[in-house]
Amino acid sequence: MAERFTVSLKGVIRGALICLTLLVSAAACGQDEPVARPSPTPTPTPTAEALPEPASEELTLPDGRRVAMRYEAGRGLSEQHYDPETGAWSHPRLVYGTETDPCQSIRLKEDEGTVTAIANFGRYCSDGEPPTESIAAVAVGDLKKWEHHLTRKFDGWARATVSDGGRKVTFVRNATHVRVRLVWTASEGFSDAVFRFSA
């Protein structure tokens, strides 16, 4: 009886070893080579260079900051600025609100750390009529605050001159029969536009 048990045990062990060998062989044969998965393509992110919407006018300042303005149909004149330290554009800010159609191009200028903007609006400007709303705007420092002045039924400002270390801006328009002047100062803001008519 002990002999039979020994033979049976030997048979069981040999069978188990054969099964184990077959199992290991099958597992080794059944393994596929690992497949290299393609790495996901990163979603392109907008660069600091690109504005979410194209600007009508853009200006690069000496310190690397940028200012962009656009006419927004039915809303008015909006501004955004780019900070190279954060690498981001500010959210659009409305400088002047109007539903009147844009008229002529926007003019941006920087001098002595002061940024100026000239923009115009007019109902029939595309038909050759002069603007009916002329905007002079000024910002200093971090550009988060823009002061503006509206002159109605006026041909628009021709230029802006910065003086007094950036603390004064003079907007002018000289025509054949009239000279117009508007002054902004850091301490007082905008004056009233002064019209001088020639005889």
Q: How far apart are CA 25 and CA 40, in angstroms?
A: 36
Strands 147-152 and 133-140: antiparallel
Q: pLDDT 10s per residue in the chain (199 long)?
A: 444 444 454 554 565 555 445 444 544 444 444 444 433 433 333 445 566 677 789 999 999 999 999 999 899 999 999 999 999 999 999 999 999 999 989 999 999 999 999 999 998 887 888 899 999 999 999 999 999 999 998 889 999 999 999 999 999 999 888 999 999 999 999 999 999 998 6
- Structure confidence at residue 7 (pLDDT): 46
- Structure confidence at residue 175 (pLDDT): 87
Q: How far apart are CA 92 and CA 56, in angstroms?
A: 13
Spatial contact of 73 and 79, defined as CB atoms under 8 Å apart:
no
Quick one: tokens of 137? 């705007």
Q: Residue type for 143, please?
A: L
pTM exceeds cut of 0.85: no
Would you identify the CATH topology of the domain 57-197? Lipocalin (2.40.128)
